[in-house]
């Protein structure tokens, strides 16, 4: 979320949406900006201040100025050697999950001229990346933990292989891994060199993406969307905060929207 705007990466395009009080073709959301140019695709996006960093497949990392949401403009790019599927940004660096070319570290100090400063090979396709502190967590033939203390020489220091890993999110001392047909896996990464599983849920679909808030994991599960309470696995508890109970939603049975002041959830 960036201000009142949400940003959605779609195939070959970047779209910006804002919550509105009324809608016709949509429900409380209207498009305010759109960018569709010579990208192969738009698989993932990270936003920092007035810049959007988009992983665009074979056309690599694209940097878009979104200061004027109605008129997003590409201002820089780095053509990664593989296929940019995922991106995370921390400080002056963008971390790109680059398919068969592993993890690429790109200096974005000058957004108009980003340059690669380091990379770390991964054993399988790198699909997604999350960054927390001095470590990047890469979904690639399992969970790979990469020390990025020196961005010019990132190195794998630990791994956990629950099977295919397609998505990853990190909160505190835990990584939440979407593992396709093996569902959601919760991994303790307190010791990055020896991550270990503390919980799992065999979701009904094909877990390909995950986000975390507090003790709840939100899973994009193929034809389903699931919300899972992970407090028993992590020890994280928010008893004083009202949350939904854990449940699974089938898309064809779900027609309601959730909205709060100046925020939308996609």
Query: Over the stretch 26-78, which tens digit does the pLDDT of each residue have?
Result: 788 888 888 877 888 899 999 999 999 999 999 999 999 999 999 999 999 99
Residue 239 clears pLDDT 50, i.e. is over it: no
Q: Is residue 78 part of a domain?
A: yes
- Tell me the whole-structure pTM to 2 decimals: 0.82
What pLDDT score was predicted for residue 255? 32
Residue 100 clears pLDDT 90, i.e. is over it: yes
pLDDT band for 241, please (50, 70, 90 cuts).
Answer: very low
Q: How far apart are CA 195 and CA 170, in angstroms?
A: 13
Q: Is residue 138 part of a domain?
A: yes
What pLDDT score was predicted for residue 16? 56
Structure-token match 């049975």, residue found: 253
Q: How far apart are CA 178 and CA 220, in angstroms?
A: 8
137-149 confidence digits (pLDDT tens): 999 999 999 999 9
Q: Count of domains in the chain?
A: 1
Residue 182 clears pLDDT 80, i.e. is over it: yes
What pLDDT score was predicted for residue 123? 92
Average pLDDT over residues 77-87: 97
Q: Token digits for 263?
A: 């925020």
Q: Is residue 129 part of a domain?
A: yes
Residue 253 clears pLDDT 60, i.e. is over it: no
Q: Is residue 34 part of a domain?
A: no
Give the chain's end-to-end CA distance (angstroms, integer). Answer: 10
Q: Token digits for 3?
A: 């201000």
Residue 21 clears pLDDT 90, i.e. is over it: no
Q: What is the CATH number of the domain that holds 97?
A: 2.130.10.10
Q: Which domain holds residue 124?
A: 42-264
Residue 217 clears pLDDT 90, i.e. is over it: yes
Q: 3-state DSSP: the chain helix, strand, coil percent, rounded to 5?
A: 5, 50, 45
Q: Is residue 140 part of a domain?
A: yes
Q: Is residue 9 part of a domain?
A: no
Q: Is residue 5 part of a domain?
A: no
Residue 13 clears pLDDT 80, i.e. is over it: no
Q: How crowded is residue 151: how many other Cβ atoms within 10 Å of its Cβ?
A: 18
What whole-number percentage of the chain has pLDDT above 90?
68
Average the pLDDT over each of 21-30, 82-91, 99-108 and give the range with the smallest value: 21-30
Q: Is residue 12 part of a domain?
A: no
Mean pLDDT of the chain: 83
């Amino acid at each position: 979320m960036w201000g009142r705007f949400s940003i959605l990466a779609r195939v070959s395009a970047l779209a910006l949406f804002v919550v509105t009080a009324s809608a016709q073709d949509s429900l409380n959301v209207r498009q305010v900006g759109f960018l569709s140019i010579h990208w192969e695709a738009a698989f993932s996006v990270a936003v920092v201040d007035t810049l959007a960093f988009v992983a665009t497949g074979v056309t690599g990392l694209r940097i878009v100025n979104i200061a004027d949401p109605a008129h997003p403009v590409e201002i820089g790019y780095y053509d990664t050697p593989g296929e940019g599927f995922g991106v995370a940004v921390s400080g002056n660096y963008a971390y790109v999950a680059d398919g068969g070319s592993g993890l690429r570290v790109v200096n974005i100090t000058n957004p108009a001229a980003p340059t690669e400063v380091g990379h770390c090979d991964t054993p399988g396709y790198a699909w997604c990346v999350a960054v927390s502190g001095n470590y990047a967590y890469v979904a690639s033939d399992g969970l790979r933990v990469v020390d990025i203390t020196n961005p010019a020489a990132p190195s794998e220091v630990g791994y956990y292989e629950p099977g295919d890993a397609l998505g990853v999110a990190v909160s505190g001392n835990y990584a939440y891994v979407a593992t396709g047909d093996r569902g959601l896996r919760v991994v303790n990464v307190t010791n990055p060199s020896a991550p270990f599983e503390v919980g799992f849920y065999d979701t009904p679909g094909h877990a390909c993406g995950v986000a975390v808030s507090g003790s709840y994991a939100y899973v994009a599960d193929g034809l389903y969307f699931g919300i899972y309470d992970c407090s028993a696995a992590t020890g994280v508890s928010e008893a004083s905060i009202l949350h939904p109970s854990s449940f699974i939603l089938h898309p064809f049975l779900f027609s309601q929207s959730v909205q709060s002041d100046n925020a939308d959830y996609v």
